[in-house]
Amino acid sequence: MPRISIIIPCLGGAAEFDGTLVSILQNRPADCEVIVAHTAEYDDPYSLKSEVHFLHAAADSLADLANAALEIATGDVIHIVGCGLEVREGWTAPAIQHFDDPEVAGVSPVVMSTSGEEVLAAGVRWTLGGGRRVIRDSRVLSRGSGRLRAKIEGPVLRAAFYRRDVLSALGGLEADLGDELADIGMALAIQSLGRLHVAEPASQVIQTDGAPTTKCCAASGRAAERLFCRHIASRGLVPSLLLHPLTVMSHLVASGSVVAGLTSLAGRCLAWLEFGAAGRYEQRIADAKERLAELAELRASVRKGGKGGRQKIDEAAAPLRRAA
């Protein structure tokens, strides 16, 4: 079984994922599998099926595509690489080593500009006021930047490393949050599990095309407010409530139009009517902890038992990939 499954989710056709796929095939580590999850038909003109698993799926988001690929992935580590990114030889090695620690569930590589001089995304964090922030500070690349890296809570969706067992136990990425918030949603869920995240500046990918744009709509507003309500207690009730109006206002201003801003605000209001949402999230975390504990117990027993260990573990872990 491979150590790492590299997933390229693509909402378009071959023209969008070709450059990313070529760079991965040219620089891939020895112990890996490559999965392209796409929505458009692809006839494999270069006969790559022996090297790449092309998964055609009906999906409306990158998160949905990544989850579809997770169903068939076999690597211990899941690495998501978005279209418009390219990689260099050895880019996975610094990130993969962190997964030797069983408590590490996520690792953030750094997305660099084509010039290699600008940090476009070193990861994401969640503010007290309830906003997603992308870390773009170039100091993250410097030695002695531990305090800055500690503020990074998870990788961006288009460049992320996750432990497969943890991702599966949580039911995959939360597609209902939208591609704009699915990454920070996973980062906060990993924190709720008590697992660790590491920002690794030595693992870098290059952005050759423009970054995806964010949309301001009722769904995005509702998702943002849902996350805020879900984590307000753990972040600090009083400071969160005090800062939240400022965060909402900044999002309304950034929306670019009155209609978009009001639509987003309406979505936020709807989130407060989702009775029982916090309880459902707590149950999701509790179920994930139970599944991971069962898997850890199985691994311990297999180590004592000997033969057929990996097969037994994979059979037991299969239901985790379908967990919701």
Domains located in the chain, CATH noted: 4-207 (3.90.550.10), 218-271 (no CATH)
Name the residue with tokens 């996975």: 92
The separation between CA 323 and the C-alpha centre of its own chain, rounded to angstroms, equals 17
The separation between CA 180 and the C-alpha centre of its own chain, rounded to angstroms, equals 11
Query: What is the rounded CA–CA span in Å between residue 8 and residue 69?
Result: 9
Q: Which residue has the higher pLDDT, 131 or 308?
A: 131
Q: Which of 13-22, 140-149, 226-235, 256-265 has the lowest mean pLDDT?
A: 256-265
DSSP code per residue over 161-214: EEEHHHHHHTTSS-GGG-TTTHHHHHHHHHHHTT-EEEEEEEEEEEE-SPPPPP
**pLDDT at 28 > cutoff 70:** yes
Amino acid identity at 158: R
pLDDT for residue 313: 52
Confidence of residue 311 (pLDDT cuts 50, 70, 90): low
The separation between CA 3 and the C-alpha centre of its own chain, rounded to angstroms, equals 18
Closest by Cα among 120, 154, 125, 114 to 137: 120
The tens digit of pLDDT for each residue in 69-123 reads 999 999 999 999 999 999 999 999 999 999 999 999 999 999 999 988 899 999 9
Q: Please say whether the beta carbons of 285 and 192 come within 8 A.
A: yes
**pLDDT at 132 > cutoff 90:** yes
**pLDDT at 180 > cutoff 50:** yes
Q: Which residue has the higher pLDDT, 303 or 254?
A: 254
pLDDT for residue 130: 94
Closest by Cα among 40, 6, 43, 5 to 22: 6
Q: Which residue has the higher pLDDT, 149 or 276?
A: 149
pLDDT for residue 212: 67
Q: Which of 18-27, 80-89, 284-293, 311-320 has the lowest mean pLDDT?
A: 311-320
pLDDT for residue 181: 96
pLDDT for residue 321: 46
Find the mean pLDDT for residues 281-306.
88
Strands (E), the chain: 4-10, 32-38, 52-56, 77-81, 85-87, 104-112, 119-121, 124-126, 132-134, 159-163, 196-207
pLDDT for residue 324: 38
Cα dihedral 7, 11, 17, 20, rounded to 10, equals -50
Confidence of residue 151 (pLDDT cuts 50, 70, 90): very high
Closest by Cα among 166, 190, 212, 170 to 9: 212
Confidence of residue 292 (pLDDT cuts 50, 70, 90): very high
**pLDDT at 168 > cutoff 80:** yes
**pLDDT at 235 > cutoff 50:** yes
Q: How many CA atoms lie within 13 A of 231 on its CB side?
A: 27
Name the residue with tokens 């950034």: 254
Find the mean pLDDT for residues 206-233.
85
